[in-house]
Chain A
Amino acid sequence: MNRLFPLFPALALTLCALLLASPLRAAIDIYQFDNTDQQDRFHRLTEELRCPKCQNQSIADSDAEIARDMRERTARMIRDGHSDQEVVNFFVDRYGDFVSYRPPVNERTAILWMGPLGLLLLGVLAIVLLVRRASRRAELEEDDHP
């Protein structure tokens, strides 16, 4: 056991290094941009667009053919001077709201956006009612036994 002891620091260091390693990216294609701003936009957009084939992966993460096509189209549209919104609209027009990890607020997505807030309000309301009743009961009991 003692002989193994010197190995511990090395092992710990290795584990730390593993923690630091960035998650493996499926997207290894290189895209050329005119400036870093375009590059940043590309990274943000490909993280925000969802792969229609391998659902629950962004097109930046996905190795599917269609995700590669979408990355290529995104890169091309950015280079051609399209705005972020135009890129997102392009894909939403073809694949529907599904393709965006940031769906628009409309009638069909209202429950998605408002649901959590509604549940929170319901919870707060329930707590308020419970606390009120408990305190009223406590008062009543005080009245009973002065």
Chain B
Amino acid sequence: MSNKNTGLWVFVPLVGFVALAILLASGLGRNPEELPSALAGKPVPAFSKPSLISGETLTEERLTGQWQLLNVWGTWCPTCYVEHPYLLELAQRGVPIVGMDYKDEDDKARDYLARYGNPFTEVIVDADGQLGLDLGVYGAPETFLINPRGEIVLRHVGEMNPRAWDEKFAPVLRQAGNPLGGPQ
């Protein structure tokens, strides 16, 4: 009786170990930089910032009316140079991208766009980083998908590339019936 019980109990630590190993292994594959956005589903915070291109004052209104990307970049950000060609490609495919020049100098930013091409339909200047703070931005690049109501639908931290587009952005656009997401 006692022996039979002992036989089964011997496996408890093993089962526990395997369960823990599976749990921890599933965490290993995750990118710790990718934090869940606290703003998903919320409207873009109110702001009033100048445009890099026209100098006019822009508000959160500019981010309503259509599906568009909000790309946070800066000339100081190495990864922004890497993703820039892909942003140009997206723009060529008709994806409206609003840029947010984050903690940057206007002159440098204009030179950058003149030199590497401008994928943006508009560029918001966030020189002091306060809009970035309101958006929960903690670096660049970051890319937000904004719906026509001006709500943040998703946020991508790091380089924008075909994989991020195909896996994250396109499915949402497809589901919304937007042709930019590709065929249903």
Instruction: Give the B-binding residues of A (Cβ under 8 A).
Output: 51-53, 55, 64-66, 69-70, 73, 92-96, 98, 133, 137
Kindly list the 4 A-B residue pairs having the minimum CB-CB distance in the complex, ordered from nearest: A52-B138, A96-B38, A94-B136, A66-B138
9 contacts between A and B (CB under 8 A): A66-B137, A69-B129, A92-B38, A93-B38, A94-B38, A94-B133, A94-B136, A96-B36, A98-B36
A98 CA / B39 CA spacing, docked (Å): 13
Which residues in B have their C-beta under 8 angstroms from that of A69? 129, 132-133
A73 CA / B82 CA spacing, docked (Å): 31
A70 & B38 in contact (Cβ 8 Å cutoff): no
Number of residues of chain B lying within 8 A (CB) of chain A: 18
A137 CA / B2 CA spacing, docked (Å): 9
Question: In the complex, which residue of chain A has the Cβ closest to the Cβ of B32?
Answer: A55
Within 8 Å of chain A (Cβ to Cβ): is B135?
yes
B39 to chain A, nearest CB (A): 7
A66 CA / B39 CA spacing, docked (Å): 17
Looking at chain A's contact residues, the main secondary structure is helix
Q: Which residues of B128-142 have CB atoms within 8 Å of chain A's CB atoms?
A: 129, 132-139
A63 to chain B, nearest CB (A): 14
Within 8 Å of chain A (Cβ to Cβ): is B37?
yes
Which residues in A have their C-beta under 8 angstroms from that of B139? 53, 66
A96 & B129 in contact (Cβ 8 Å cutoff): no
B19 to chain A, nearest CB (A): 13
Which residues in A have their C-beta under 8 angstroms from that of B135? 94
Identify A98's interface contact among B35, B132, B137, CB under 8 A.
B35
B133 & A73 in contact (Cβ 8 Å cutoff): yes
B37 & A96 in contact (Cβ 8 Å cutoff): yes
